[in-house]
């Protein structure tokens, strides 16, 4: 975690090397299907709500973080930081993007002990420009919580939008 914070500070303090193009606020509501090796072999469908912020540089690099939560029988709160790489278009509002973020997840079932572990998230998305300042951003996200016996969680992000300012 110390390395993640140090890397974040270095990237943020060296931001003057790149000329800023925009700030990006992202809001999402997504459905996820969790594949489990548990004894009942059932799949779990969940609803996830998230909010993110990225700072965009002219070279196609973005850096930011996100906060997301699942509330129900299974509770999850995640905080992630990391880079996003955009490519495929000179217009950031309609580009492909890949992000790799690292952070912390606090999770557990209602009425039981909560756990806190390291989380890695990789996201593959495409921005579709709806206007000069709004993009629709569907994609596939893969989350993995370290130090557990859990399987990766695959999320199809269907209701995700970005606001550029």
Residue burial 62-77, b: 16+ Cβ < 10 Å; e: rest? bbbebebebeeeeebe
Q: Tell me the C-alpha distance between 8 and 83, whole Å.
A: 9
pLDDT of amino acid 45:
61
CATH number, span 20-58+68-164? 2.40.160.20
Asked whether the beta carbons of 74 and 46 are under 8 A apart, the reply is yes
Q: What pLDDT score was predicted for residue 98? A: 96
Q: For the chain, what are the domain ranges? A: 20-58+68-164
What is the spatial distance between Cα 75 and Cα 94, in angstroms, rounded to a whole number?
33
What pTM does this model have? 0.74
pLDDT at 10: 40
Extract the residue ranges of the chain whose pLDDT is less than 70: 1-21, 29-47, 72-73
């Amino acid at each position: 975690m110390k390395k993640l914070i140090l890397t974040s500070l270095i990237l943020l303090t060296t931001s003057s090397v790149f000329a800023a193009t925009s700030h990006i606020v992202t809001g999402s509501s997504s459905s996820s299907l969790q594949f489990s090796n548990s004894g009942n072999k059932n799949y779990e469908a969940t609803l996830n709500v998230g909010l993110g912020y990225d700072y965009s540089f002219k070279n196609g690099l973005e850096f930011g973080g996100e906060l997301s939560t699942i509330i129900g029988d299974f509770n999850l709160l995640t905080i992630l930081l990391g880079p996003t790489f955009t490519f495929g278009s000179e217009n950031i509002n309609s580009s492909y993007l890949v992000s790799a973020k690292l952070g912390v997840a606090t999770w557990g079932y209602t009425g039981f002990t909560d756990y806190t572990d390291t989380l890695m998230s990789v996201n593959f998305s495409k921005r579709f420009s709806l206007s000069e300042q709004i993009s629709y951003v569907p994609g596939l996200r893969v989350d993995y919580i370290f130090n557990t016996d859990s399987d990766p969680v695959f999320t199809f992000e269907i209701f995700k939008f970005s606001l550029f300012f």
